[in-house]
Structure 1
Amino acid sequence: MSSPEIASLSWGHMKVKGCASSYKDCKVWPGGSRAWDWRETGTDHYPGVQPADLEEILKKGVDILVIGRGMSEALQVPSSTLDYVRQQGVNVKVFQTEKAVREYNTLAGQGAKVGGVFHSTC
């Protein structure tokens, strides 16, 4: 099962190839995607991305996880969260969201088992 390409990104709007919905923030993994609702885990710009935000994707068997911190990189990614991902045996890459989407799409196009979480504002 391949990771779906992110077809478009603009401020507050993301579109995943093969999905009728559009997202403000999204999670993607081999074979699927969904909205990333921060309220589910109490996430905010600070302290940032929590392990609970990533568990669903890590359970999908990804080898690489790409995190998009927002257009202005306002979303923090604590070192404890990065450590958690690495302890699961997954390589993690963190970028400004536009760069993160490019990296994710490159990896997905190469057939990598890649997942991601992307914040499309701030």
Structure 2
Amino acid sequence: MPPARSPRIVEISWGRMVVDEVGEGKDFKLWPGGGRPWDWTETGTRHEPGIQPADVEELLANGATRVVLAEGFEGQLRVDPATLRFLAERGVEVQVARTDQAVEIYHTLAVAAEPVGALIHSTC
């Protein structure tokens, strides 16, 4: 049985995303075989210091061995250095980019059937 593919982002614009078999929303956590809306309040995430280790744990728990983190269209969302250390300690390759580029990277990996997870922020 082949590994589950990460869902495709069908559409993305400022403040809105549509993800195959996941739904419509503003920000998403995506992983092989699924995903869900990303609610920053669950982990206390803010633009500074940015994406927290707790934000990426669910991606790894769902089989992601590569992770793409979107900083927003204008690069306003940071990535806490603790998150990068957390991923490195687990041998997870991570790429950080502005949202438009992050979506391209994510799609390239997903189409290649890589076990990729992503945190995609659709505004700033």
Aligned letter for 1:94? V
Deviations 1:30-61 (A, max 9, x none): 01010000000110000100001111111112
Partner of 1:105: 107
Q: Is the 8 A contact 2:21 2:34 kept in 1?
A: no
Structure 1 gap segments, 5+ residues each: none
Aligned letter for 2:102? A
Partner of 1:72: 74
Q: Distance in 2 between matches of 1:118 and 1:92?
A: 13
Partner of 1:83: 85
Aligned letter for 1:113? P
The normalised TM-score by structure 1 is 0.96
SS in structure 2 of the partner of residue 121 of structure 1: coil
Structure 2 gap segments, 5+ residues each: none
SS in structure 1 of the partner of residue 63 of structure 2: coil
TM-aligned CA deviation for residue 101 of structure 1 = 0.4
Q: Distance in 1 between matches of 2:38 and 2:70?
A: 12
TM-aligned CA deviation for residue 18 of structure 1 = 2.3
Q: Distance in 2 between matches of 1:79 and 1:53?
A: 13
Q: Distance in 1 between matches of 2:75 and 2:53?
A: 19
The normalised TM-score by structure 2 is 0.94
The answer to whether 1:3 aligns with 2:6 is yes
Partner of 1:25: 27
2:18 is aligned, of 15, 19, 42, to 15
CA RMSD across the alignment: 0.8
SS in structure 2 of the partner of residue 118 of structure 1: strand
Aligned letter for 2:34? G
